[in-house]
Amino acid sequence: MEILLNLKNQICSLGVPLYAAFEEIGTEGTGGLWSEIFLRCSQVMKEQRMDAGSAWKKAISENRGLLPLESSDWDSIDDFGELLGKSDRYNQEAVLDMARESIAVLEKKAEEAVRTKGKLYRNLGALCGAAVVILLI
């Protein structure tokens, strides 16, 4: 979320080209693995004169194994760069707001999963504990 806010500032307020905005975000290094992805994306855009959509997909595919996401989540992440850079500031703002919303949904899903699975593991732990006690008796 913080990265997206930064990107919105770079694009909508400062009018920095995408490759430079990605580089800036990447070098700040506050986003963990995402910083690496933004840096790689910037590099691909600069060196291969690629649009943001293709460069983003390339950077993501190179780091796919390192991110603990489900396949349905990847679809949303893959399309993130598709509309970036293709319109004026006003429309880019709308694109970034949309991206923030879909990431918020992903975040909510992840939190839900943590809660559900956490409960499951807690119950599983208690059951295992009870089984060990029964066995020991």
Partner 1 sequence: MWHERDGCERFDELISFYLPDSIKTAVRGIKREYLIELEELRIRAGQPLMGVFAGFDRFIGRDGFLSDNPQFGLIVSPKEVDNLFMLLCEHSVYAYQDDISRGFITLKGGHRAGICGTVIYEGNNIRGMKDISSVNIRFSRQIKDCARDVFGHIVRNKQDIYNTLILSPPRCGKTTLLRDLCRMVSSGTGTSFKGLRTAVIDERSELAASYRGVPQNDLGPRTDVLDGCRKSEGIEIMLRGMAPQVIVVDELGATRDPDAIKMAWNAGVRIIATAHAYGLDDFKRRLGIGQLAAKDGFERIILLGMDNGKRWVRVMDAYGNELSGLVKIDRLSDGIRGLYGIRDEAVGKAGRETACLIKTHGDPA
Binding site for partner 1 (CB under 8 A): 11-12, 15-19, 45, 49-52, 85-89, 91-92
Instruction: State the nearest-atom distance from the C-beta of 41 to partner 1, in Å.
Output: 11
Q: With respect to partner 1, which residue has the nearer C-beta, 12 or 67?
A: 12
Instruction: State the nearest-atom distance from the C-beta of 26 to partner 1, in Å.
Output: 16
Instruction: State the nearest-atom distance from the C-beta of 17 to partner 1, in Å.
Output: 4
Q: With respect to partner 1, which residue has the nearer C-beta, 49 or 72?
A: 49
Distance CA 28, CA 30 (A): 6
Q: List the Cα angle 23/26/29 in 5-degree steps.
A: 150
Q: Which residues of 30-44 are buried (b: 16+ CB within 10 A; e: fewer)?
A: eeeebbbbbbbbbbb
Show the tokens assigned to 71: 């396949």
Q: With respect to partner 1, which residue has the nearer C-beta, 18 or 25?
A: 18
